[in-house]
Amino acid sequence: MKTMLKNGVTGILFLGLLGLFSVANAADDPGKKIFLDQKCNKCHEIKSLSIAKLPKEAEAGEEAEAEEEADTLEAPDLKAVATDDQVQKAAGGASQYLKDYLQKKVDHTGGEGANKKPRKHKKLFKGADADLTALVNFLLTVK
């Protein structure tokens, strides 16, 4: 009986530690860090990861044109990037498509809603290729 109890407690502790390790890995994802460092959350949110848009005051210093465009376009929650049809069906694969989109090489119509005008990403990604790869890999895992 004591052995069963010990094994049960050990199993529960192991599963708890495993769960903590998984949460720590999600929090330490280099792509998430890049997402936040590049201030992608000035326009985008990821509700499933509790990443909210930055308040409007945080946008001070942006060009007037960029602010005007931001007011007319609603940037999507990025929870559905991995399942977006245009991303998944892109020639070269989803990863390459997202890299090209963030570098303003291709247009995207957006996920939800019909008849959206194809647009380039509002802001050109500025960073190393390795950072872009990490960001894209992160976005493709968001659910």
Per-residue pLDDT of the chain in tens (143 residues, 90 and over written 9)? 566 556 544 545 554 544 444 343 456 899 999 999 999 999 999 999 999 999 876 455 555 445 544 445 678 889 888 888 889 899 899 999 999 999 999 999 876 554 578 899 999 999 999 999 999 999 999 98
Pair 46, 78: CB distance under 8 Å: yes
Provide DSSP, 58-117. GGTTS-HHHHHHHHHS-PPPGGGGGG-HHHHT-TT-HHHHHHHHHTTSS-B--SSSSSPP
> Which helix (H) or strand (E) is 135 found in, with range?
helix 129-139
